[in-house]
Amino acid sequence: MSSHPAGEHAPGTGRKRVHPLVVVALVLLTVVVGLVLYANSGLDRSGVRAAVDATAQELEQTPVQGLGLSVFDIEEAATTANRGGGGKFARNAAADLRVKSAGEDSRGDLYEFTNSDGDHPICLAVRVDPDPGDQNPSFPRTSVSDGPC
């Protein structure tokens, strides 16, 4: 039997070392692919709920001039409240939301939010009680509930 110096392999064993740069390149590629998939994936139920909660907060802080709000005002509040944090891979939740008017009930005007695929409905109720004799703007009251309106 012959002995081999430490770190060397006998000829014909088929073992080769992977260059460290190849390992680093594979790790970086995996990270980049993961970020791209994350940025392009749709909102899940918790993402839609968080976007609607942020929209409700935005509405409650924004004065209403006039008698009420329209679906366009709701969409504008959703866009303002859910802007991405910037950067190439930042998620823009507002771009993945779909909003439709869903009538009204005792809670106020109803707006149903889903992701862009129409999944994970969340109901936003908005009530505006303007006082025609008061020159000051009124602020909406909102409530958010899981499920369709």
Predicted confidence (pLDDT) per residue in 13-33, tens digit: 667 888 888 778 777 777 776
Predicted confidence (pLDDT) per residue in 62-108, tens digit: 998 777 889 999 999 999 998 865 544 445 677 889 999 999 999 99
Low-confidence winner among 39-53, 95-109, 113-127 (lowest mean pLDDT)? 39-53
pLDDT score at 89 = 46
Mean pLDDT of 36-53: 79
Counting residues of the chain whose pLDDT is more than 90, the rounded percentage is: 46
0.75 exceeded by pTM: no
Integer angstrom CA distances of residue 113 from 4, 42, 81, 144: 69, 13, 14, 10
Sequential DSSP letters for the chain: -----TT---TTS---PPPHHHHHHHHHHHHHHHHHHHHHSPP-HHHHHHHHHHHHHHHHHSPBPSS---HHHHHHHHHHHT---SSTT---GGGGEEEEEEEEETTEEEEEEEETTS-S-EEEEEE----TT--SPB--EEEEEES--
Q: Which two structure tokens, joined as six digits, stand for 89?
A: 């891979």
Answer for the pair 91, 24: CB distance below 8 angstroms, yes or no: no
pLDDT score at 61 = 94
